[in-house]
Amino acid sequence: MMTTPPQFERTGILIGPAGIARLAGKHVFVAGLGGVGSYCAEALARAGIGKLTLIDHDTVAISNINRQLPALLSTVGSNKIDLMRSRILDINPACVLTTHRVFLNTENMELYVPGDADYVIDCIDSLNCKVALVASSLKRGLRVASSMGAGNRLDPARIRLADISKTEMCPLARIMRKRLHRVGIKTGILTVFSDELPYAPLPPVAVEGPGRARAVNGTISYMPPLFGLMLAGEVVRRLLTE
């Protein structure tokens, strides 16, 4: 019988040795290590997921400090993927951890998204890439969870988990649904979203980045992390009860 690592003893009280062993045998892929993805990935590691594959191309910017787990004044300019790798291995050295510092796009998606993943978790902000990641993963028979927009929201009580077909009041989810409908996908995606009305108008600012130009939403410290933690929590719950 598998011995519960001491850092997971409290988890073992909750889910038992069989639950610990079950999570240790699971593989989860997380795309994007920003405010949502960094907290999601670390929560999965702290729950004892035994195999993680993470992908992110970005470095820490000073504007990330208000919401992203690896972002500190001392880490500005550092690669997010390297910072998260160090954190996760300091939590669970036994974790089989694969990290890629690349921009995930439609050309390299099948190369980097592992076919044996028990869950694919989308925490990226490029719309084209989000749609492609979700659609290609579903077509490969993988289970998918996806984060909608955590920006421009303040009320944590309005965060929801639902199938993407049940989302409402979220402009990103609406666009995702329309784009996915074009490729024949209407359901089957675990989604975290907020049904709160936008707190403030979107400022007319665009930031250029690999593969995208995007407007910049205001953000608060707790909303993106809560999105990530809720995704991680529901994925862990499903992996335990499947």
Query: What CATH number is attached to the domain comprising 158?
Result: 3.40.50.720
| Span 97-108, average pLDDT | 96
In the prediction, which pLDDT does 201 show?
66
For residue 119, is it within any domain? yes
pLDDT of res. 208:
45
Tens of pLDDT, residue by residue over 104-115, are 999 999 999 999
Domain count, the chain: 1
Q: pLDDT digit string (tens) for 60-85?
A: 999 999 999 999 999 999 999 999 99
131 located within any domain: yes
Q: Note whether 142 and 117 are within 8 A (CB).
A: yes
Cα gap 4→203, rounded to integer Å: 50
CA nearest neighbour of 122 among 20, 219, 51, 40? 40
**Gyration radius (Cα) of the chain, Å:** 17
Burial (CB < 10 A; 0-12, 13-18, 19+), residue 3, is: exposed
**Which of 242, 237, 216, 241 is CA-nearest to residue 34?**
216
Tokens of 155: 């009320």
Residue percentage of the chain with pLDDT more than 90: 89
pLDDT, tens digit (0-9, with 9 covering 90-100), for 180-191: 999 999 999 999
Residue type, 79: N
- State the amino acid at position 233 in one-letter form: G
CA 28 – CA 116 distance, rounded (Å):
9
In 3D, which of 155, 145, 128, 236 has the Cα closest to residue 192?
145
Q: Can you give the pLDDT at residue 207?
A: 45
User: Does 63 fall in a domain?
Assistant: yes
The phi-psi region of residue 184 (left if phi > 0; otherwise alpha if psi is between -120 and 50; otherwise beta) is left
Q: Which residues pair with 208 in a beta bridge?
A: 213
Q: 0.75 exceeded by the pTM?
A: yes
For residue 206, pLDDT beyond 50 = no
Q: Is residue 26 part of a domain?
A: yes
Q: Which two tokens stand for residue 201?
A: 């108008």
The mean pLDDT value for 45-62 works out to 98
Write out the residue range of the structural domain in which residue 140 sits.
14-241
The residues with which 96 forms a beta bridge, in sequence order, are 51
pLDDT at 13 over 50: yes
Distance CA(237)–CA(220), nearest Å, equals 27
